[in-house]
Structure 1
Amino acid sequence: MDARKEGLPRKPRFSAQPRVGLGLLPFFLACAVYLLVQNSTDQPSWVSALLKILPILYLAGFLGTVFPCGGYRSLLQGALLCSAVGDACLVWPEAFLYGMAAFGLAHLLYLRAFGLTPLKPGLLLPLLLVSSLYFGLLHPHVPPHMVWPLLAYSIVLVAMLWRGLARGGSAHWGALLFVLSDTVLAWNTFTHRVPHGHLLVMTTYYSAQMLITLSAFQNPRLKSH
């Protein structure tokens, strides 16, 4: 199968692993700085917003330096930039809906990037069942004006997870960690605080974005049922 015709990333012709590992060091440093600073203050500010989005912006720029062109890379970069907007919005509770909309757009871009090959429809039903149960648990605690936006976001998130699992590789684990992060965030926001919840949300979130970014260096597994 021709990866170019399928809109899938091609495997680099050289061994990029050492370059990738070294290139991610600033990302890990930016994550550590944000988590350390955030633990010392809970006050929303533009400084905390900037520190929060720096790791994501770095991943977007990093993709551009390693893969100067390509549809898959461009979609990932777009998703990362939308995620950065969402991250900044979520610093302020009153901007939660705007943040959710930005992340919804990011998931749509990831969904487009992951594609529909292989389809693996058998994965979708269990994901819908589990997500429906979880949404049912959240629903009594969600403000009425947020029920429909949250439902729409949940559907897009599940679709992204389905395609990430079907794609395989690091996208598989990245999609799973993204959903875990959002699951804890939703519980923290609408029900009650999880111990060290913010740390759990952000570590799984940053890991998810990194793993999805790394999928640009891999050929997806094209096995079907």
Structure 2
Amino acid sequence: MILYRSPILILILSLFYIFIIPKEPLAFQLFFKVLPMALIIGYALNQFPKGKSKTHWFILTGLSFSIIGDATIHWFVIGLSAFLVGHFFYILGFIKQFRFSKIGLLLSIPIAIYSVWMMFQLTEALNKQGNQVLIIPVIIYIIAISIMFWTAIMTSNKWAYLGSLLFIISDSILAWNMFVSPISNAHQYIMLTYYAAQFFIAHSLSTFNESRKPTVW
């Protein structure tokens, strides 16, 4: 019964943090920020099949680094580094489930175009702000999350694909709002898409099994 209630509890606590919890004091805010992610990690563990594979452990590790990123993103480079490591483990997990598909291969083109466009926009904005020190870390992060998204597509797993897409959307809103131009209700959009992204990636664990071949598009 707890397993079936978990998504509802995650949703309630996510909305509670996004729309009710104040920004101060910081420790109070951070506690409620990481609480949904802690439940998502617990949910991910419940999704482990009997025949666990490296994919399950890699993705669980990625989720664990994400919660570190949540707690430290106020110190931007530290939080960014934690998320970067998390994406590295997501990539490893998705590569273990890699299945060639022509559509997936073709989708690498718009992903690459969008990534280069975001790099250009953010680099220009950071130069104007005098934050050149962030240019390299931001570019590396964009490359990593783009590869993560593409490898998720190549698993042919709809939950991994949807989660990774929402992760791209969440981080794009965050970066644009932080460096390029303010976005109304940015916090709500960022966190709604972020929690949904992590939940869908966690949920994908129930459908990843090395003995079961994913559907090839």
Q: Which structure has the higher relative contact order (CA within 8 Å, separation 6+)?
A: 2
Matches within 5 A, 1:129-148: 129-142=113-126, 143-148=131-136
Q: 2:216 aligns with which of 214, 220, 223?
A: 223
CA separation in 1, counterparts of 2:99 and 2:141? 24
Q: 2:160 aligns with which of 168, 171, 181?
A: 171
Give the number of equivalent residue pairs.
Answer: 202
> Is contact 1:139-1:147 (8 Å) kept?
yes
CA separation in 2, counterparts of 1:125 and 1:205? 24
Does residue 105 of structure 1 match 2:105?
A: no
Q: 2:5 aligns with which of 16, 22, 35?
A: 22
- Name the counterpart of 1:55: 36
- Tell me the amino acid that sits aligned with residue 186 of structure 2: G
Normalised by the length of structure 2, the TM-score is: 0.85
Moved over 6 A (4+): none
Q: 2:171 aligns with which of 182, 188, 200?
A: 182
Q: 2:72 aligns with which of 75, 82, 89?
A: 89
> Is contact 1:181-1:201 (8 Å) kept?
yes
> Is contact 1:111-1:159 (8 Å) kept?
yes
* Cα RMSD for the two superposed structures: 2.0
Normalised by the length of structure 1, the TM-score is: 0.82
| CA-CA distance at 1:68 after TM superposition | 7.3
> Is contact 2:121-2:180 (8 Å) kept?
no
Aligned-residue sequence identity (percent) comes to 25
Change (3 A) 1:191 1:75: same
Does residue 114 of structure 1 match 2:107?
A: no
- Name the counterpart of 1:11: none
